[in-house]
Every structure is written in structure tokens, then in C-alpha cells.
């Protein structure tokens, strides 16, 4: 399947690439890239990163860095990316902001009273993608290179779910950052993609640990009835959306949206 926004010589950076949706994006996108393109994978789990690399075909150059993005500073990220890329060599620069956690589901919003927990959650889920985006755009600041930013968001960023105060608020803040970015930089193609209920560690955590009975039952029933999606299904839908390009930059597009 030819996808224009992934054509030519591409530099592709994916965060959270050691498992789940991030790993599948790496595998699927690699099959669409030209052989002179390059992929750089970020995640904390080095073993998982190696497994992702093993699943990617040999036609594309792949590198990985085991890194805790919640602790990485802008100058460190700049140094790492510049090690692997000469920005003037690429037709397109693509960053997939996938890394994130679901947070503690055992507390209601009234019990979420620890500043340190809030800071740690937002460091990874909100602040780090914003800083990485800034670094990435400054590296690829030439007009010739077309830029695509994919933020993996969630329905939870626009609809509240009980027990999910950290996750819902984090997704909402992160998505709004990328909406503002899209308005400020209209030459950059920005997609906030909501992948739907995918069978990943996050979904399992929600079905097992949510303190609210209704939320827990919703996710548990979904899994029991096998209504959740596979990573292949949601990433194939993402590819279709990118191929058709029917969205406006900055839009929130869900797996189930008809566009």
C-alpha cells in the first residue's frame, strides 16, 4: 500500500516502540518505507526494543536507544537524534509520539493528592512528548523536509472515565498541545490518532485494577466478549487514514470514525 506521507527518503522516530502499538507501528511502517529510509526507536525496555528490531525487515536501517523519556533533557535528545541523522538528507521526517502509561487506577480524583505522583505522570505523558516535539522540529527546521507528527491519543482524552483521572487528563493535555502546535505550524501534518480499545498491557491493567466498578466491568466485559482490537487492526487503520489524508491537521481521529 503506497502512502504518500511515508514516501521518499524518510527518517522515522517512534517512542514507546518496545511493545504493543508502538512496536506494531514500527513493523508495519517499515514495510512501507523505501530502503534508504531510517528508523530510530525509543523506549525504556531494551529487550523489547531488540525484539522490535528483529521483527523489522532488513531493507530499512533501524537503530534503537533505551531511554527514560521522563528524565531526558532537550540537549540530550538533540544529541541522540543528531547522532543518527543528517536532516538535510531526508525528504520526510516523521515522529510517532506513542510512549505513555495509564497511571494509577486505584484512586478517585479526590484521592489524587500527591504532587510527586502528578509530576512523575505528567513528566512522561505530557511534558516529554512536548519537549521531544520541540527538539525534533528544531532539528528538521528546513522547509524542504516535509514533516508528519502522529500523537497516539485516546477517547479518554475527550470523554471522562471514572478511576482514570491521571490518564484522561494527561491525554487531554497532550492532545491540546498538539492541536495548538498544528495551528501554529500549518506546514506540519499533525494527526491525533485514537487507536480504539486495543489488547495491550494498558487494557489489561484497566480491566484488572480500576477501582470504579463500572469502569472495571466495562473493560472486563469487553475482553471477555473479545471486542478489543489487535495491534495489527489499529495500525492498519492508521495507515489507511494516512493514505487517504481526509483529516485537517490537528484533528482527533478515532479508529471507528468514518472519514
pLDDT digits (tens, 9 = 90+) for 178-236: 999 999 999 999 999 999 988 877 778 887 888 878 888 888 888 888 888 999 999 99
DSSP conformation letters of 32-65: TS-TT-EEEEEES-HHHHHHHHHHS-TTSEEEEE
Q: At 43, give phi and psi (nearest 5°).
A: -175, 165
Q: How far is CA 28 from the centre of its chain?
A: 14
Confidence class of residue 1 from pLDDT cuts 50, 70 and 90? low
Half-sphere exposure of 163 (CA within 13 A, CB side): 19
Confidence class of residue 91 from pLDDT cuts 50, 70 and 90? very high
Nearest-CA neighbor of 155 among 230, 242, 255? 255
pLDDT digits (tens, 9 = 90+) for 108-159: 999 999 999 999 999 999 999 999 999 999 999 977 899 999 999 999 999 9
Amino acid at each position: 500500500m503506497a502512502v504518500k506521507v511515508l514516501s521518499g527518503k524518510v527518517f522515522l522516530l517512534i517512542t514507546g516502540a518496545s511493545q504493543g502499538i508502538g512496536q506494531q507501528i514500527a513493523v508495519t511502517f517499515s514495510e512501507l518505507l523505501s530502503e534508504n529510509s531510517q528508523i530510530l526507536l525509543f523506549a525504556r525496555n531494551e529487550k523489547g526494543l531488540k525484539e522490535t528490531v528483529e521483527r523489522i525487515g532488513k531493507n530499512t536501517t533501524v537503530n534503537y536507544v533505551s531511554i527514560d523519556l521522563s528524565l531526558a533533557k532537550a540537549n540530550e535528545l538533540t544529541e541522540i537524534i543528531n547522532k543518527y541523522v543528517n536532516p538535510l538528507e531526508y525528504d520526510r521526517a516523521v515522529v510517532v509520539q506513542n510512549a505513555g502509561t495509564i497511571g494509577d487506577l486505584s484512586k478517585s480524583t479526590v484521592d489524587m493528592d500527591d504532587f510527586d505522583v502528578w509530576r512523575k505522570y505528567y513528566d512522561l505523558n505530557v511534558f516529554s512528548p512536548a519537549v521531544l516535539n520541540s527538539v525534533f522540529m528544531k532539528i528538521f527546521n528546513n522547509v524542504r523536509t516535509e514533516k508528519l507528527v502522529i500523537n497516539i491519543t485516546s477517547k479518554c482524552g475527550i470523554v471522562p472515565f471514572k478511576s482514570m483521572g491521571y490518564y484522561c487528563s494527561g491525554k487531554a493535555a497532550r492532545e491540546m498541545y498538539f492541536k495548538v502546535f498544528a495551528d501554529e505550524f500549518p506546514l506540519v501534518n499533525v494527526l491525533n490518532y485514537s487507536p480504539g480499545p486495543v489488547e495491550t498491557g494498558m487494557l489489561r491493567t484497566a480491566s484488572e485494577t480500576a477501582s470504579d466498578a463500572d469502569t472495571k466491568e466495562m473493560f472486563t466485559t469487553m475482553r471477555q466478549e473479545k471486542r478489543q482490537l489487535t495491534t495489527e487492526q489499529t495500525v492498519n487503520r492508521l495507515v489507511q487514514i494516512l493514505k487517504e489524508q481526509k483529516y485537517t491537521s490537528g484533528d482527533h481521529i478515532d479508529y471507528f470514525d468514518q472519514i
